[in-house]
Homo-oligomer: A and B are copies of this chain.
């Protein structure tokens, strides 16, 4: 019943966290296996045995990133009103994009936007991941008690995600946390609810 054979000499989750950072900083195509294995502290065959191949590793890194580094998004959905959901999300997003202990920006944006020659599915995978978050937000907004009936929750969710992704682009370019929050200040003026 117990695991047989020689046990693994490294922590797979810790190694995955290192991989997240490398992918985050350099994108999928800009990251080589040497970059990865050096950062993870293991060698190539161990990585292949544990994670499959480079693309599998990337998908697992994104999954773990979505669960850990983007937990704030799920928490934002628990706010009682549409206005509070959106404000909570954009504020926490601006903070997450500029965490001093993490690469600037967002893995699911700078991981890969353009479909490389054979890596078209990478950009597509990330796009679907972002679309999933957008859909969850739209569903939540549709059920909010304070959303005026003339407001389309799908369009509003898309707008919020556009602000979030635009801020991610700015953060990747070195924008400060204060600058991102100033943008959120303005963006919130377009959101129905009590004015600031």
Interface residues of A (CB under 8 A from B): 24-27, 29-30, 32, 35, 105, 109-117, 119, 123, 127, 130-131, 152, 155-156, 158-159, 161-170, 172-175, 179, 182-183, 185-190
Contacts and interface: CB of A to CB of B under 8 A. Distances in A.
B113 A169 contact: yes
B116 A113 contact: no
A168 B182 CA distance: 21
Contacts of A183: 155, 158-159, 162
Contact of A163 (B24, B30, B166): B166
A26 B161 CA distance: 23
A13 to B, nearest CB: 23
Report copies per complex. 2
A166 B156 contact: no
Contacts of A175: 158
Nearest to A158: B183
24 contacts: A25-B115, A27-B114, A29-B30, A29-B116, A30-B117, A30-B119, A109-B113, A110-B114, A113-B113, A114-B172, A123-B172, A130-B173, A152-B182, A155-B182, A158-B179, A158-B183, A161-B166, A162-B163, A162-B166, A166-B167, A168-B169, A169-B169, A187-B187, A189-B189
A99 to B, nearest CB: 16
A158 B182 contact: yes
Contacts of A172: 113-114, 123, 127
Given A166-B165, A169-B166, A170-B162, A186 B182 contact: no
Given A30-B119, A155-B186, A163-B163, A169 B114 contact: no
A109 B169 contact: yes
Given A110-B113, A190-B190, 16 more contacts: A25-B114, A27-B112, A30-B117, A32-B117, A111-B114, A123-B173, A127-B174, A131-B173, A155-B182, A156-B186, A158-B175, A159-B183, A159-B186, A165-B170, A166-B167, A166-B169
